[in-house]
Structure 1
Amino acid sequence: MQRFIAIWPMLLLVGCASLNQQQCEQAAWYRLGVSDGANGYPVSRLQSHQKACDKFSIDVVASDYAAGHQQGLLRYCTQASGFEVGWLNLPYYEVCTGEAEAAFLRGYLRGRNQAALYCWQRAFPGYGYGWGHHPYFAHSFFPSLFCD
């Protein structure tokens, strides 16, 4: 449950504007890079930050952002994070590399499969047994994320 709560900031940021004037003025570019990397955004997200800050004639510090982004990817590119992203049916932007990507994708596919099984059990409640009727999976919140 704690891992699920950690993903909420990512859900809330989807579709939001990159940065406003106050955020551009007070930006800690390294920390912003860590946050974006830890949430699975590609490093190209810096371009949207730059575009937002250009409106206010504020430059981004690309080197700090890139260094932070790399640190954030160390948190994101794990099997546990992959499971969480897959379970919540969130997009994967192919930001992980090497063995970290293999671990992430193992978790991601497991999460997607568990989500599909969950949806199937919600659609056909008389079939199957076991964890499908566990109170944790009975929350009405989950179907709104990925079950049609």
Structure 2
Amino acid sequence: MQSAAASVDAYLDEAPADRQAALRQLRALLRDRLTPLGFEEAMSYGMVGYVVPHSRYPAGYHCDPKLPLPFLSFASQKASINLYHMGLYAQPEFMAWFQAEHAKASPHKLDVGKSCVRYKKPEHLPYELIDRLVQRMSAADWIALYEALYRPKKK
């Protein structure tokens, strides 16, 4: 479910009432932690996103260079609140760390997709673990990993 909201505030305002407090808390945590690491908040793919801006990484996203390099997003989907973290997708050892730490931090079973983590109930969001997760990779770290894995090699 992608939103047509033009701003993060509008996106949060249109979310189901029972999720708004959790989504606002998640946004505050992510903004506080990710903007000092070189990311910017934006609406991205109909979700709240944290991206590496073109001012820092002019090449942009290889699938569409007009877009800034995506890193992390969150969304209120039909049946869950989803966290999309590109570092988890890109680095298997990073995902392994997160899975092990999640088992310690939450009594709830981890529901993971290719690059998303789903939380069926807002109260299941492990904010302390998410805080630790997002501090593990700066924009510079993400750019280096992204270039190594996804940017075509120049001949």
Query: Shorter-chain TM-score: what band?
Result: under 0.3
Which structure is higher in helix share?
1
TM-score (norm 1): 0.26
Q: Which has the larger radius of gyration?
A: 1
Which structure is higher in strand share?
2
